[in-house]
Structure 1
């Protein structure tokens, strides 16, 4: 056990990537100990990605890339400007609302930061906001990506913890909205302190148009529900409502109605049993292709090929991390290291609230050094047995773990969102880190609330019958 952990840490200290360190440390342990056949390394790594839920990974990544190249991000941004740009600290509020909408399509914090971030930071600087404030609010809002469904970390966690990915998706909605409210309040605080006003003039027509688009999106599931209650079949009701929405969108040329429909289609489809979370990823890609090629006609074969190659590159790196983490986690289990760590934690406390505090500190620390996917793959086998033993709902713990790891993405030495925003804003990593620090306050407040108020996470899945 000690050899395995020391090999992993030693390779990391030598500057090797986390995935290579895990695979290399596992190989060193197998060769030196002689207790495990060499072929097991390859077998376990292949078994780590031989999973139906993992098929969602490339499709959600592709959906996010397609949304970017199809110009949907700019439409989302324009919609957010119309909705909240007139508020104090206008473009700061736009930044957050834009991330909420884009989160319902991409599923990753990095896609949010890279896609919307480049548009948002440039616009905020042009309107007189400091680069530091622009970077800080963009970083904080990017953490919403994996909390509001769909979410790649939820897919990996659900597979590792053997819990419903659909329930995880639904459980992330209220925490995501709660985080949104905290971030908007933080922007309002900075605006009040600095005397900022709105960035676009208040206009009833612009606000009314944006509000109408939201109402149309919300009316879609309501119309389906009423039609089903009246005796229509679900398929007939949904088809009729969809055709009506398409006609309205074509007639009035709304800017973002169909883009806003993405979360409704994904969550509604899973709730109605039309497709699994994995199939929902395929639905997200089909919807993105429809918008880019048919409705907005902003996608070309060249940009489609570019998005495909970017997806292959990203998927390869993600799945390599999963394969390396799988053999490492398997060895942690077979060498009783995971059990020993679990027993050690339980020897410190058997109180679930104290355990949640310790778990938060551990995951926050790990998230600053290890990639999100790798961290989930390593930590879940260690912590889930304790979670179940102490009576903590694994769905709630999945939200807690994911939010911790999203906060870790904002920190050096390995915070990917930190480096993406440093590159976009042309700030040094040190200045980018300092710009993000004030925004840790609303994120930590959200983390504490989600940890110690289970209803924030579990109420909606219970209401929808996804949890007993």
Structure 2
């Protein structure tokens, strides 16, 4: 299996697309084991596409693209401005709230970072904020997006690890709140030190708050409806994905009336491309995963970790460090697909809660989107705002510290994560 991992690393370094790097390196495992039928790679690839639970992935991707074109973003931006515009570094604070609100719309950190770069980026620099600070805030605050239902990472982790997606959805709210508060404090500290202005002179009135809530209520209801539907047994995770698409179309065509025939087709085309790349990656990862299971790597890692310590929190810290290291070179989606079958059994064997681990794991995997050398969200924001990676990293340090301390808190105080799912699901 060592040769397979080395081949995968080399393929990535020479710039091979991730899906092909996973698939080809996975095939090398079968070349090393001629006793295994060579029809297995084809069989596991095809069988992966027939996993009914994965139907939720393309449906939620499609729902997110339609929600983004429904006109709901402007309403959420207004709501975020009303909520935090009076704080120091007003637009930066607005970016944090908008990322949390966008979780129910896109579920993708990269999509949120790209959207906010175009909406808020230049406005923040016009108010005197440095481009490095602007890029750092927009990039790192998008960490909140995949934690709010329906985060695609949650669906992938739940499907691959056989963990309740409803409980994972419910578990994302409290960590998102804690991370949002921590990042808001980091933004306030920097803004106060540099004299970055607030967006509003005073707090919004009750009338303004009511009007903003009215405009954004359809987006705020979306994750709530998802949770209620799952909790009451009205929908399965796959069925609720279909509901999400219908909900997005209803908002776009009936409520805001901004989704027209042209934008409908554009969203469909983008969805087809997104779904195709995601499912191709998931399918080829089955070849790689077969070798992991065949070599009993989860059991080896579990025994290795338990030989170091029998404290599940400390084991989670080690896993987070490994995931952060992998995130320097591998996309978050790939990490979730490849490493969930490796680390989740180890945590389960030590008595850890899979939902608690899942949220911490997804946070750690997503952080890789914002760090060099291959962070997708980082490069997206830096290219749009024309910022060097060096300036971006320097200006992001307070946010990195805030996120790191919050992640440690989430590891050692699992009640923050498990409170809401335990209340809703028992």
TM-score w.r.t. length of structure 2: 0.94
In the TM superposition, 1:68-217 aligns within 5 A as 68-202=68-202, 204-205=204-205, 208-211=207-210, 214=213
Deviations 1:376-431 (A, max 9, x none): 22212221221112111011000010000111111122211111111221223333
Contact residue 82 and residue 204 of structure 2 kept, 8 A: no
Provide closer, same or farther for how the CA distance between residues 209 and 383 of structure 1 changes in structure 2, counting only shifts above 3 A: same
Distance 2:217 2:13 in 1: 49
1:339 aligns with 2:299: yes
Pick which of 164-173 and 85-94 moved more: 85-94
Distance 1:130 1:430 in 2: 13
| Higher gyration radius (CA) | 1
Deviations 1:161-194 (A, max 9, x none): 1110000000111111111111112222122212
Q: What corresponds to 2:336 in structure 1?
A: 376
1:432 aligns with 2:392: yes
Pick which of 166-175 and 185-194 moved more: 185-194
1:417 aligns with 2:377: yes
Provide closer, same or farther for how the CA distance between residues 90 and 312 of structure 1 changes in structure 2, counting only shifts above 3 A: same
Deviations 1:78-132 (A, max 9, x none): 2211232122221111111111111122211112112233212122123222222
Pick which of 439-448 and 121-130 moved more: 121-130
Provide closer, same or farther for how the CA distance between residues 255 and 351 of structure 1 changes in structure 2, counting only shifts above 3 A: closer
Deviations 1:274-333 (A, max 9, x none): 212322222222222112111211111111111111111111111121112221011111
SS of corresponding position for 1:365: helix
SS of corresponding position for 2:370: coil
Q: What corresponds to 1:323 in structure 2?
A: 283
Distance 1:345 1:153 in 2: 25
Distance 1:342 1:377 in 2: 18
Distance 1:422 1:273 in 2: 43
Aligned length: 426
Contact residue 135 and residue 425 of structure 1 kept, 8 A: yes
Deviations 1:133-163 (A, max 9, x none): 2111111210011112211111111111111
Residue 432 (structure 1) shift: 2.9
Distance 1:64 1:122 in 2: 25
Provide closer, same or farther for how the CA distance between residues 213 and 119 of structure 1 changes in structure 2, counting only shifts above 3 A: closer
SS of corresponding position for 2:215: coil
Pick which of 154-163 and 436-445 moved more: 436-445
Residue 25 (structure 1) shift: 1.0
Q: What corresponds to 1:388 in structure 2?
A: 348
Residue 364 (structure 1) shift: 0.9
Contact residue 27 and residue 287 of structure 2 kept, 8 A: no
Residue 346 (structure 1) shift: 2.8
TM-score w.r.t. length of structure 1: 0.86
Distance 2:256 2:51 in 1: 35
Pick which of 66-75 and 167-176 moved more: 66-75
Partner of residue 248 from structure 2, selected from 283, 288, 299:
288
Contact residue 139 and residue 421 of structure 1 kept, 8 A: yes
| Gap regions ≥5 residues in structure 1 | 215-253
Q: What corresponds to 1:267 in structure 2?
A: 227
Q: What corresponds to 1:250 in structure 2?
A: none
Pick which of 27-36 and 195-204 moved more: 195-204
Pick which of 106-115 and 116-125 moved more: 116-125
Provide closer, same or farther for how the CA distance between residues 303 and 39 of structure 1 changes in structure 2, counting only shifts above 3 A: same
Q: What corresponds to 2:264 in structure 1?
A: 304
Provide closer, same or farther for how the CA distance between residues 204 and 166 of structure 1 changes in structure 2, counting only shifts above 3 A: closer
SS of corresponding position for 2:145: coil
Q: What corresponds to 2:320 in structure 1?
A: 360
Provide closer, same or farther for how the CA distance between residues 328 and 124 of structure 1 changes in structure 2, counting only shifts above 3 A: same
Distance 1:341 1:387 in 2: 10
Distance 2:414 2:78 in 1: 35
Provide closer, same or farther for how the CA distance between residues 413 and 196 of structure 1 changes in structure 2, counting only shifts above 3 A: closer
Structure 1 segments of 4+ aligned residues over 6 angstroms from their partners: none
Distance 2:207 2:277 in 1: 44
Distance 1:208 1:183 in 2: 28
Distance 2:275 2:174 in 1: 29
